[in-house]
Amino acid sequence: MKRREFISLLSGTVAAWPLGIHAQEAAMPVVGILGGSQSASLNLEIAALLRGLAETGFVNSQNVTFEYRWAEGNYAQLPTYAADLVARRVAVIAAAGNVAARAAQEATATIPIVFHTGDDAIAVGLVSSLRKPSGNMTGVSAFAGELPSKRMDLLHRLVPAATILGAVLNPDNANAQRDEAAFKMAAKTMGLRLHILMAKDAIDLEANFATIVQKQIGGLIINTDASLISQRDQIVALAARHNIPTIYSYREWASAGGLISYGAIRTDTYRQAGIYIGRILKGEKPTDLPVLQPTKFEMVINLKTAKTLGLTIQPSLLAIADEVIE
């Protein structure tokens, strides 16, 4: 080979190196995030998911990237968003909420799906077994069957004089029918009257609180649901405006001004979901990763909100609270 030809070949090879590097960068795995709520309502949870992912060696924008699809409370958009993530050939879909998980499940049987749900993963059809999930799905199920009755009991202890309680559920959520039955059974056991209120959006919520006032409901339970979480600030404001003692599912509600919350520690469960995503990116299969369940639940009481409502919290409740917000 002539010297001039060799130099030309070498120059061409060197010039191609950056292209090879860019190709490697472009080939980094993409994780699709699919959720039924607003992105802002899950900032802490997504940050926890990223921490879990980092524990397995994957750092955002360094060796993994993300595509986000948020339905903003409009569950009807989820199938379209799930199909879009599949078309983009993401490596893993992380589904926040059981409605998002079902949409992802219907969109693909091959792309691994890591879900985070507050519902019973078996009952809503995400997996057939927690220990050995079949197909392409695994994740975290923050469900505990006694949660509806536990929340009603805590609310009753907060407002023992109230004989009429209410519960807000989203009819589009698979947990609505089951939790409605659980609330009714708990109310019957406690000798309380109960009104079930259904809400999908802000308009429904305004109507619900008008009904609450009309029916003289003395305490309210907001059921676990991604769409309701996305309307957290509105719900907390409505409860304050109408002076309704309300119990919620997660500490973020109490931090936002809600009276009391009781449920799993979501930042921890989302971190666990992030670890599962990383393990799958490293080659493990969803069927080899048992569905995780929380072992610790926390109660948070917002004492400032209690004082605004004119409530005196029993010392026995304050004693068992994991956190009291002054």
Domain boundaries, the chain: 9-143+265-288, 147-264+297-325
Looking at domain 147-264+297-325, its CATH class is: alpha beta
**Neighbouring C-beta atoms of residue 138, cutoff 10 Å:** 30
DSSP assignment of 71-113 equals: -TT-GGGHHHHHHHHHHTT-SEEEEESHHHHHHHHHH-SSS-E
- Ranked by mean pLDDT, the top range of 9-13, 36-40, 80-84, 224-228 is 80-84
Per residue in 77-91, pLDDT (tens digit) is 999 999 999 999 999
Indicate if the pLDDT at residue 288 is higher than 80.
yes
Spacing of C-alpha 216 from chain mean position? 31
Averaged pLDDT for residues 138-154: 89
Averaged pLDDT for residues 130-141: 94
Sign of CA dihedral 241, 244, 245, 251: negative
pLDDT > 90 fraction of the chain, expressed in percent and rounded: 74
Averaged pLDDT for residues 230-248: 95
For residues 279, 285, 288 and 291, what is the CA-based torsion angle, rounded to 10 degrees? 70
Distance CA 247, CA 252 (A): 12
The CATH fold of domain 9-143+265-288: Rossmann fold (3.40.50)
Degrees to nearest 5, angle at CA 182 with 302 and 265: 40
In eight-state DSSP terms, residue 130 is S
The whole-chain average pLDDT of the chain stands at: 90
Which residues, 6+ apart, have CB-to-CB distance to 324 below 8 Å? 300, 301, 303, 318
Averaged pLDDT for residues 33-40: 86
Indicate if the pLDDT at residue 148 is higher than 50.
yes
Q: If pLDDT is split at 50, 70 and 90, which confidence band does 41 have?
A: confident
3-state SS track over 261-275: EEEECHHHHHHHHHH
Contact in structure between 102 and 124 (CB atoms under 8 Å): yes
Averaged pLDDT for residues 132-139: 94
Indicate if the pLDDT at residue 54 is higher than 80.
yes
Averaged pLDDT for residues 31-60: 92
Lowest average pLDDT, out of 17-31, 32-46, 200-214, 227-241, goes to: 17-31
Quote the pLDDT of residue 32.
98
Quote the pLDDT of residue 82.
98
Indicate if the pLDDT at residue 13 is higher than 50.
no
DSSP run (H or E) holding 151:
helix 147-158
Higher pLDDT residue, 38 or 99? 99
Quote the pLDDT of residue 298.
94
Q: In what order do the strands lie in the sheet with 65-70?
A: 65-70, 30-35, 92-96, 113-117, 137-141
Indicate if the pLDDT at residue 16 is higher than 90.
no
For residues 164, 181, 124 and 205, what is the CA-based torsion angle, rounded to 10 degrees? -30
Global confidence as pTM = 0.80
Supply 171's token pair: 């009819």
Quote the pLDDT of residue 278.
98
Q: If pLDDT is split at 50, 70 and 90, which confidence band does 126 have?
A: very high
Averaged pLDDT for residues 99-114: 97
Higher pLDDT residue, 23 or 165? 165
Distance CA 199, CA 77 (A): 17
Lowest average pLDDT, out of 36-40, 244-248, 277-281, goes to: 36-40
Higher pLDDT residue, 120 or 271? 271
Spacing of C-alpha 238 from chain mean position? 22
Are both 9-143+265-288 and 147-264+297-325 of the same fold? yes
Q: If pLDDT is split at 50, 70 and 90, which confidence band does 3 have?
A: very low
Lowest average pLDDT, out of 131-140, 142-151, 274-283, goes to: 142-151
In eight-state DSSP terms, residue 19 is H
